[in-house]
Chains A and B, each alone.
Chain A
């Protein structure tokens, strides 16, 4: 029976899709059969980030509407075994998502997969509500910045009141914080909220801190989940987060400024 994870944030542009791609790939690399579903109907992007945009024939909405079966719509990743993508429609809108339709697809996937990652759209409207409704577990993606933290708090409220688990009074949705675009140098200068500040405010367990990294843009340029760039600190930070998610005690890295050599300081290079 699969575990359903929603990657959510409230605010847009904080790294939900990047994190969904990275986290899903990380779980698949660990041998778990994993699928990442794009819930951002009308603004499809997971396919681009994962580099399978030219292989999309049928999508999530086609499956919901019975125009295609699940196997026709699933895209198997070419680089990583056990990794699948279910793209969404680029032409329809969020009303195409119905609770019954989404449930039917998730139930079918549940039998085959270990993890189902729902990549939520921004906002707290239908698409985002559908993405989080069936979740067993939520990864709240937050930037160390006021509007993102506020929206994360809001989405935590929505998870606690409008998810299926909340409505049926089951165990609450498991919550994890993924702090992305963290810049330890700016934190040190007092220009950015610290990890501890964000934890104080949101009060949910920390899954990982992903440092601001040029590797993320490079990876998205070529449609490669950033964890496959093993040398990048962002990639390593995501793999650490996956390990923690699986219950392994891994210390947090990349939260303190890197010590720079004299030459590096002179050249003013950032890694």
Chain B
């Protein structure tokens, strides 16, 4: 058996090769983070204030994500709008208070 394995299987990776591979992966991420914009928190706040002018929204139901692909990045903003029902209730509450 072992003689077959010797001929058939690809050679085992050395620990140094593992080290290089792990470094390349972790550094690719860290370098991307380093150059990543620091404006996300502020952007989120300003977007919210604009949207809040028109729709009542719950600040906790907002998600801002930045996905990095090979040659493009995608900024994803997810805002959960309240159902019409909830909106009416909120409006009534505001009117009463």
Give the interface of A toward B (CB within 8 A): 145-146, 149-150, 153-154, 157, 187, 189-194, 197, 200-201
Contact of A153 among B16, B17, B31 (CB under 8 A): B31
Q: Mark B25-36, 1 if CB is under 8 A from A, else 0.
A: 011001100100
Are B16 and A197 in contact (CB-based, < 8 A)?
yes
Are A191 and B26 in contact (CB-based, < 8 A)?
no
B97 contacts partner chain A, Cβ-Cβ < 8 Å: no
Residues of chain B within 8 A (CB-CB) of A201 are 20, 23-24, 27
Summarize A's interface: helix, strand, loop or mixed.
helix
Residues of chain A within 8 A (CB-CB) of B30 are 150, 153-154
Contact of B16 among A150, A157, A191, A200 (CB under 8 A): A191
Given A193-B20, A197-B20, A201-B20, CB of A150 within 8 Å of CB of B26:
yes
Given A154-B30, A157-B31, A157-B34, CB of A149 within 8 Å of CB of B17:
no
B87 contacts partner chain A, Cβ-Cβ < 8 Å: no
Residues of chain B within 8 A (CB-CB) of A146 are 19, 22-23
Residues of chain B within 8 A (CB-CB) of A192 are 16
B15 contacts partner chain A, Cβ-Cβ < 8 Å: yes
Are A191 and B14 in contact (CB-based, < 8 A)?
yes
Name the residue of chain A whose CB is nearest to the CB of B22: A146
- If A146-B22, A197-B20 are given as contacts, then 6 extra A-B residue pairs at C-beta distance below 8 Å, sorted by A number, are A145-B19, A150-B30, A157-B34, A189-B14, A194-B16, A200-B20
Residues of chain B within 8 A (CB-CB) of A187 are 16
Are A193 and B26 in contact (CB-based, < 8 A)?
no
Shortest Cβ distance from residue A269 to the other chain B in the assembled complex, whole angstroms: 24
Interface contacts (Cβ under 8 Å), in number, total: 37
Give Cα A200 to B17, complex, Å: 13
Give Cα A200 to B19, complex, Å: 13
Give Cα A201 to B27, complex, Å: 8
Residues of chain A within 8 A (CB-CB) of B20 are 193, 197, 200-201
Are A193 and B19 in contact (CB-based, < 8 A)?
yes
Residues of chain A within 8 A (CB-CB) of B34 are 157
Residues of chain A within 8 A (CB-CB) of B22 are 146
Are B19 and A153 in contact (CB-based, < 8 A)?
no
Residues of chain B within 8 A (CB-CB) of A190 are 14-17
Name the residue of chain A whose CB is nearest to the CB of B26: A150
Give Cα A187 to B17, complex, Å: 11
Q: For B15, B23, B31, which residue has the most chain A Cβ atoms within 10 angstroms? A: B23
Shortest Cβ distance from residue A246 to the other chain B in the assembled complex, whole angstroms: 31
Give Cα A149 to B19, complex, Å: 10
Give Cα A38 to B66, complex, Å: 42
Name the residue of chain B whose CB is nearest to the CB of A160: B34
Are B27 and A153 in contact (CB-based, < 8 A)?
yes
Residues of chain B within 8 A (CB-CB) of A150 are 23, 26-27, 30
Are B24 and A193 in contact (CB-based, < 8 A)?
no
Name the residue of chain B whose CB is nearest to the CB of A192: B16
